[in-house]
Structures are given as structure tokens and as C-alpha cells.
């Protein structure tokens, strides 16, 4: 006879149901209901497999499928009643199914919540990774458009936040396109390792029943580029592995770091001190006290949210550290970290794409800042090298010019030809070089990857082609479900 704990799925061996406080502490349905659609997908595949292995009849399979379809529709339309006492999304759906059809009681055959939740999360994350990658591409598109709007806009490049050498706005923005592309690639790598099916591994040690794991893997789209099923090969690893979540959180954290750096650049550029950029009104807010203020809150929050995305990674790693094999309830803590990072990163990518698209870049202010002659000191040294002066000596000679200029309250742009000549006859044309200006000095740069406008235009064209021609899931194992 069932004990008084019988209203739980494990009630048979208990005398009492869990205490109310315990129920609240252990429930996850308040957040894991987000997995509902993917949990149902997993259950549909599992039911089809049970039927094909004659563990349930065709009629039972069809009853289960009909019931799950109704539940999916109820959830979508907000008609489904979630019950906290049923603990998690999996048991809520199973209980509802069993109310619709007695066949529901057979769905959990040869399955545990341990392989079930791992399957649902992997399915969910595969969809999410594709969405994140699309959001990355959209931001890259915004950056590319801003770069091509002003391909010739020269600006100072900074090291140590000091003016270093002239670069261009386009070159600066393309640096972020590169970073984001590595993020896209890392997410693709994470996708490949997420794309492995744990279903059929049961609670820890597989099943004594004749389950067909390749059937469910194929049915759920856990397949490689050639359509071959990819199944986890160790049941103990399969139910306790959350590497795929950690890997996504790590890739996301690095992407958030890149967004934070972009945000910081925009924030600096919007200051009166720089004056290089203005954000659209729609992406800024005012001050409740100072009428003149226009604050770059969106980039500031993107920069700030990098902290929580990084925190989510650390939180999960600490949760996983020291867990004995195999499934432990600690693993339930993975979900909020995963969902929070996914939401935060996707919003940040989305808004940064809008912010960049709506920003106005002030080519004149950039040019003015880039006309600082001291940013061409290295060019003069390079010119000396071309005349046979060893670079160390050239560096010393130009450094002397900088000191002489500074001692008399000028910059090197103010030095007369005679003063250059007095330092070294090899510096005869230094003043001419400075007069030619930063824009012309960009043309003088020929090394691959430099901000030479000709090379930058080529890069813009290369990225345009790449983004335009890329198939939606390029370079990654094909997901047959999307095909």
C-alpha cells in the first residue's frame, strides 16, 4: 500500500510528503518551465522509440503524442496550470499527460529525469546558441555599416589611453567585428559538444529494457554533418555532464567582455573630451537634475552586465567542482545561470546592434584629434630607417626632437626645418612628413592588417561577402531538424 507521500511520483516508499519549506526550497518548476517545449520534444521522441521497440503499443504512442500536443498548446496559450508540488517541469508535464491518457503512465519507461533533463537542456541550448550566433551576426552587420559609412575617417589610435598612431574609425570598428567572429566560432564549438544525446542513459546505468538510443538521437536531431546519430557513450558521464553548459557560459562571458569593451569605447567617445560619437536619443537617457545631460545608459548597462555573465560562469564552475559521480541535485542550480546568461547576452547583443546603428560618428572631431603631429613620431623614425639609420638611433633622434619641442612649449609640428637639421641632417624632410597629415600617413602603411584605407576597404568587402553568403548554420554539424 502506498504511504501518505503517495501524491509524489516516488510516494510509494514514503510515509509523509515533503515539508512545505522543503518543497519550496527544492522546486524548480518556477524557472525550468522554460524547458517545456524541449522537454516535450524529448518525450515525443522517447514515445516513438518505445513504440518502435514494442515497449508500448502504436495506440499508446498515438495517445501520448496527442496528449503532449494538447499540453504544448495549453502551455503556449498560458492555459496550463503549473503545480509547485510537482517539483519540476518534467513531472508537471507527465502528470498532466497521465490525466489526459492512462498511456501517460508508460512514458517514463526506461527513462529517468536525469537523462530527461540533460536531453531537454541540450535541445534548448542548441536552439539558443543558434539565436545567439544570429544576434552576433546582426551586431557585426551594424559595425560593418558604420565602418563603410566613413571608410576614410582618420582617428587617433590609443595605447595606454595615450595618442599613439593614426588609425581609422573603420579599422577600429572592424577590430570588434573580428572579436565577435571568434565569439561566433566559440559558440559553434560549444554547439558541437552540446549536440550529443544523453537520452536512454536512464538514471545512471542505462536500462535493462531494449531501448534504441540511436533512434531517439536521430529523431531529435542529435546528428553529425553526415546525419549519423551522436549519442553519449558513458551513461554515468551522460547524466552528470554539464560541460556543455559551462562551455556556453564561458563563450558567452568572453563575448560579454568584448561587448563591454565596445561599450566603454562608445561611452568615452560620447564624452565632451572626445566628442567622437553621439548616440541616438532613443538609446540614451537624461538626468533628473542636470538639464544638459545625455547619458549613454545602454552601453553602461551592457558594460555592467558583463559582471553578472562572468559571475554565472564562476557560479556554475563552483557548483560542479567536487561533485561526486553521478547526478546530484546540485545540478539543478545550472538552469538559472544558463537562462540568465542567455537572456543577458542576447539583449546586450541586440541593443548594441541598435546603438551602433543609431550612433553618429563625428569625422571632423576625429580628424582634429588625429592631426596631433606627435602621433607621427614613429613615422619619422621609420623614414630615418629608410635612409639607413638604425632604428634605435632613429628612435633616439626623434625623441630628442620631441624633448626640444616640449622644452619650448611646442609639439614636434612646431619645429622649424633648421631645428630638425640641427638634430640630424637625416631629418631634413621631417617637417614635410608632418605637414602631409595623418590621412596621408595611413596610405603609407602597407603591412597586412594595417589601417591603410585600401586594405580596410578590402576587409569591409571581405566581411560583407562572408556575412551575406554564410548559410545559417555554416561550419557546424548540420541540425537535421532545421533542414
Contact residues for ligand ARG (CB under 6 A)?
28, 32, 88, 113-114, 117, 327, 329, 331-332
Q: Which is nearer to ligand ARG, 204 or 385 (CB)?
A: 204
Q: Is 38 annotated as catalytic? A: no
- Helix, strand, coil percentages (3-state) for the chain, rounded to 5, are 65, 5, 30
DSSP secondary-structure letter at 285? B
R_g over Cα of the chain: 30
Min CB(329)–ligand ARG separation in Å: 6
DSSP secondary-structure letter at 79? -
Q: Is 52 annotated as catalytic? A: no
CA 201, 190, 194: angle at the middle one, nearest 5? 20
Min CB(33)–ligand ARG separation in Å: 11
Q: Which residues of 185-201 are buried (b: 16+ CB within 10 A; e: fewer)?
A: ebbbebbbebbbbbbbb
Min CB(119)–ligand ARG separation in Å: 11
Residue 255 to residues 182, 251, 281, Cα–Cα distance (Å) = 9, 6, 26
Q: Which is nearer to ligand ARG, 124 or 327 (CB)?
A: 327
Phi, psi torsion values for 193, nearest 5 degrees: -85, -15
Round to whole Å and give the CA distance between 281 and 16.
60
Q: Which is nearer to ligand ARG, 97 or 174 (CB)?
A: 97
Q: Which is nearer to ligand ARG, 98 or 332 (CB)?
A: 332
Min CB(229)–ligand ARG separation in Å: 24
Asked, as a colleague might, if the bond just before 178 is cis with ω within 30 of 0, I would say no
Q: Which is nearer to ligand ARG, 37 or 264 (CB)?
A: 37
CA 48, 229, 118: angle at the middle one, nearest 5? 70
Residue 358's H or E segment, with its range, is helix 334-358
Please name which of 208, 12, 220, 222 lies closest in space to residue 111, comparing C-alpha atoms. 208
Q: Which is nearer to ligand ARG, 327 or 463 (CB)?
A: 327
Q: What are the grid coordinates assigned to 390, written together?
A: 638604425
Please name which of 312, 330, 329 lies closest in space to residue 321, comparing C-alpha atoms. 330
| Identified catalytic residue from 160, 207, 395, 447 | 160
**Catalytic site positions:** 160, 287
Amino acid at each position: 500500500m502506498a504511504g501518505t507521500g503517495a501524491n509524489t511520483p516516488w510516494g510509494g516508499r514514503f510515509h509523509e510528503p515533503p515539508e512545505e519549506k522543503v518543497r519550496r526550497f527544492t522546486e524548480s518548476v518556477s524557472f525550468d518551465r522554460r524547458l517545456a517545449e524541449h522537454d516535450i520534444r524529448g518525450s515525443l521522441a522517447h514515445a516513438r522509440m518505445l513504440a518502435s521497440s514494442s515497449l508500448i503499443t502504436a495506440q499508446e504512442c498515438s495517445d501520448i503524442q496527442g496528449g503532449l500536443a494538447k499540453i504544448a498548446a495549453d502551455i503556449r496559450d498560458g492555459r496550463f496550470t503549473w503545480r509547485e508540488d510537482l517539483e519540476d517541469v518534467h513531472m508537471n508535464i507527465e502528470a498532466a499527460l497521465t490525466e489526459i491518457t492512462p498511456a501517460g503512465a508508460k512514458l517514463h519507461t526506461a527513462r529517468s529525469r536525469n537523462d530527461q533533463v540533460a536531453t531537454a537542456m541540450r535541445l534548448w541550448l542548441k536552439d539558443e546558441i543558434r539565436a545567439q550566433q544570429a544576434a552576433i551576426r546582426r551586431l557585426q552587420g551594424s559595425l560593418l555599416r558604420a565602418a563603410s559609412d566613413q571608410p576614410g575617417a582618420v582617428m587617433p589610435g590609443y595605447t595606454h589611453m595615450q595618442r599613439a598612431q593614426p588609425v581609422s574609425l573603420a579599422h577600429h570598428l572592424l577590430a570588434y567585428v573580428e572579436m565577435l567572429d571568434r565569439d561566433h566560432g566559440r559558440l559553434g564549438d560549444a554547439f558541437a559538444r552540446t549536440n550529443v544525446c544523453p537520452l536512454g542513459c536512464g538514471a545512471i546505468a542505462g536500462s535493462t529494457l531494449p531501448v534504441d538510443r540511436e533512434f531517439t538521437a536521430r529523431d531529435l536531431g542529435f546528428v553529425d554533418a553526415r546525419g549519423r546519430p551522436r549519442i553519449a557513450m558513458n551513461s554515468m558521464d551522460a547524466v552528470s555532464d554539464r560541460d556543455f553548459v559551462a562551455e556556453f557560459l564561458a563563450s558567452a562571458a568572453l563575448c560579454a567582455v568584448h561587448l563591454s569593451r565596445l561599450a566603454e569605447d562608445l561611452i568615452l567617445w560620447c564624452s565632451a573630451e572626445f566628442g567622437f560619437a553621439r548616440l541616438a536619443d532613443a538609446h540614451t537617457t537624461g538626468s533628473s537634475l542636470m538639464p544638459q545631460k545625455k547619458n549613454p545608459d545602454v552601453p553602461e548597462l551592457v558594460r555592467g552586465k558583463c559582471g553578472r555573465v562572468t559571475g554565472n560562469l564562476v557560479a556554475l564552475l563552483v557548483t560542479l567542482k567536487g561533485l561526486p559521480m553521478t547526478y546530484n541535485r546540485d545540478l539543478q542550480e545550472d538552469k538559472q545561470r544558463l537562462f540568465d546568461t542567455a537572456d543577458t547576452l542576447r539583449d546586450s547583443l541586440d541593443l548594441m546592434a541598435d546603438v551602433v546603428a543609431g550612433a553618429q560618428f563625428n569625422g571632423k572631431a576625429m580628424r582634429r584629434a588625429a592631426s596631433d603631429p606627435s602621433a607621427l613620431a614613429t613615422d619619422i623614425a621609420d623614414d630615418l630607417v629608410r635612409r639607413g639609420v638604425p632604428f634605435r638611433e632613429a628612435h633616439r633622434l626623434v625623441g630628442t626632437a620631441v624633448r626640444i619641442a616640449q622644452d619650448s612649449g611646442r609639439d614636434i609640428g612646431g619645429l622649424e626645418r633648421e631645428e630638425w637639421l640641427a638634430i640630424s641632417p637625416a631629418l631634413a624632410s621631417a617637417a614635410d612628413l608632418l605637414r602631409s597629415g595623418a590621412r596621408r600617413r595611413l596610405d603609407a602603411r602597407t603591412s597586412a592588417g594595417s589601417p591603410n584605407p585600401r586594405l580596410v576597404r578590402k576587409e569591409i568587402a571581405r566581411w560583407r561577402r562572408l556575412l551575406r553568403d554564410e548559410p545559417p548554420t555554416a561550419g557546424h554539424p548540420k541540425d537535421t531538424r532545421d533542414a
